[in-house]
Structure 1
Amino acid sequence: MLREIQCFAGVAARLSFSRAAADLGMSQPAVSQAVSRLERATGVRLFERTARQVRLTAEGRTLLSYADRLLEAAAEFSSEAARLTRPLIHLAYPPLIGPLAARIARRLAGRAPAIGVELRPAGRGDASAALTRGEVSAAILATPAPAPFGTAARFHITIDHLAVPAGHPLWARARVAPDDLTGQVLLTPGRSWTGLPGRPRVVADDDFGAALDLVAAGAGLLPSPQLLVRAVRRDDIRFVPFDAGDLRITYALAWSRERVTPELMALVQAVQEALWTR
């Protein structure tokens, strides 16, 4: 009966059997027969038909809202059934590269057949543990990745700014050089900044947001990539351009060598494509 209700709603929207038939990709006689079957099954006259016009009866207007809700529920049912049967990838990623993770998810959702992606923001330690336990299919990790994992699609994020707190002597500088960091505390989210002067202080793993709170509190300075500069607007922190040379963070897609699937290979391809295009 769902097809008959769809025809009823189509005719009610257009007040025309021929236009409803065109919308539904059916012949006009087939639509007319479907509406007649629904009228017989319900014992309700839905339309008043004349040679010149089609009008809803009072009973038809009452039933139309029920028909619309039923068709909406049927569409939601079909959508959810399709979601439940499509392959699903669980991807852990550092919050810093959230825009890239979103592009990857969109690419996989747009392919045929579609692959769903559950995104899980996580620092390196949590992501590695989840990957080991099989809770995620893959993870984007700062390199080097732990030895048991396979990797692909490496990419680099250049460090080109320094986050400094309000009132700091470097706040008003137009540009900072490595020599300016002598004696300063450098916050290092899960890594050390090789080759920079200053005293390193390791903070929450891959959590640049928490590190910025420490900067604002005067606990240290934070070498930062352009991705962070574009995403953050704070009055208590200034990102000063930083001549850091070849300082960068390298990331790669990592996965368990024991759990290689066609969906995982599609993920590798999607990551590579997302890196090549913007």
Structure 2
Amino acid sequence: MLREIQCFTRVAERLSFSAAAADLGMSQPAMSQAVTRLERATGTRLFERSAREVRLTAQGKALLAYAEQVIESVRAFGDEAARLARPTIHLAYPPLVGALAARIARRLASRTPSIGVELRAAGRTAAAQALADHEVSAAILATPAPAQFVTAARFHVTVDHLAVPDGHRLAARPRASAADLGGEVLLTPASRPWQGLPGRPRLVADDDFAAALDLVAAGAGLLPIPHLLVRTVRRDDVRFVPLEAGGLRITYALAWSRERVTPELMALVQAVQDALWTR
């Protein structure tokens, strides 16, 4: 009956048996027979036909919405079946590099054969744990990555701003330097101290910039951050000051478990390298 429902909806759209038949690659008699079979099966007249025009009956109008739902459900079923049948990579990534993760997913989806990518935003600790537990296929991690993982495709994110609480002595400065940070508390990722910066470190969770900015707003410390984050955050209680600190940066790499190498994983490595090369 699905074919008959498809024919019904196409005739209803075109209000022409010949045009609907051409759309579906059928002859006009075959189209008319399909609609007639549906009318007999439902015990309902769907169209008023004359030599000049085709019109939906009141019953046909009432059933058309249900027929369209059937067609849409079948289409959705096919799309989901195709998605489930294709190989899928599960990739954890820090929100800071979300644009890169999305670009990687698009690259893998557009290749032949395509590879699906399920993205999971996660901080460094959560991503590394998910990778160790085999919940994800790979993860983009701030380096140094845990020693049990293989890494490749390293890239750097420049840290060129300083987040300070509104009203802080540096908030109105056009820029800040490393010398301005003496005596300040610096919110510092637990896995990587800020090299070459004075101040007293206070350790915070890696890649959890949202929580760290809450600490900044509360007056708990200052936070060196990349410009990538400055462009996306809007807060009235935090100010972002350009920071001149001599090439401060965060290095990231794609990491995976050495015992879980697959062709799809190698395609992911290539997609990351290509995305970094062409960005």
Same fold (TM over 0.5): yes
Q: 1:25 to 1:243 in 2, by over 3 A?
A: farther
TM-score scaled by structure 2?
0.93
Q: Secondary structure at the match of 2:254?
A: strand
Q: What's the % identity of the aligned pairs?
A: 77
Could you tell me how far apart the structure 2 residues matched to 1:235 and 1:72 are? Answer: 46
What amino acid maps onto 1:154 in structure 2? R
Alignment-derived partner of residue 254 in structure 1: 255
Deviation at 1:92, TM superposition (A): 1.0
* CA deviations over 1:108-159 (Å, ceiling 9, x no partner): 2333333222222222222112111111100000112222211121110001
Aligned residues: 278
- Structure 2: how far apart are the matches of 1:145 and 1:60? 63
Superposed displacement of residue 209, structure 1: 0.9
- Measured in 1, the distance between the counterparts of 2:189 and 2:167 equals 23
- Tell me how far 1:46 sits from its aligned partner: 2.1
User: What letter matches 1:158 in structure 2?
Assistant: T
Partner of residue 188, structure 1: 188
| Residue 218 (structure 1) aligns with | 219
CA distance in 2, matches of 1:183, 1:262: 51
The corresponding residue for 1:109 is: 109
Partner residue in 1 for 2:272:
271
Q: Closer, same or farther in 2 for the Cα pair 1:112/1:29, shift >3 Å?
A: farther
**1:258-278 deviations in Å (ceiling 9; x for gaps):** 111121122112222322334
Further displaced range: 37-46 or 170-179: 37-46
**Which residue does the alignment assign to 2:244?**
243
Distance 1:244 1:31 in 2: 74
- Give SS of 1:59's match: helix
- Structure 1 position 53, deviation (Å): 1.0
Given the superposition, is the C-alpha separation of residues 4 and 125 from structure 1 closer, same or farther in structure 2, using an over 3 Å criterion? same
User: In 1, Cα distance between the equivalents of 2:268 and 2:116?
Assistant: 10
Structure 1 residue runs without a partner (length 5+): none
TM-score by length of 1: 0.94
- Name the counterpart of 2:136: 136
Q: How far apart are the structure 1 equivalents of 2:80 and 2:65? A: 23
- In structure 1, what is the Cα distance between the partners aligned to 2:28 and 2:107? 40
**How many Å apart are 1:59 and its aligned residue?**
2.7
Distance in 2 (CA, whole Å) between partners of 1:12 and 1:133 is: 53
Corresponding residue for residue 169 of structure 1: 169
Which residue in 2 is equivalent to 1:38?
38
Over 3 Å counting, the alpha-carbon distance change for 1:26 and 1:152 in structure 2 is: farther
Map 1:56-75 to 2 at 5 A. 56-75=56-75
| 1:3 Cα offset (Å) | 1.0
**Is it true that 1:149 corresponds to 2:149 in the alignment?**
yes
Residue identity in the other structure for 2:152: A
Alpha-carbon RMSD: 1.7
**SS of residue paired to 1:242:** strand
Single out whichever of 102-111 and 180-189 deviates more from structure 2: 102-111
Structure 1 distance, partners of 2:242, 2:250, is 17
Cα shift at 1:168: 1.2
| Residue aligned with 1:13, SS | helix
Question: Which structure 2 segments of 5+ residues have no match?
Answer: none
Report the residue type matching 1:187 in the other structure. Answer: L
> In structure 2, how many angstroms separate the alpha carbons of the residues matched to 1:157 and 1:104?
17
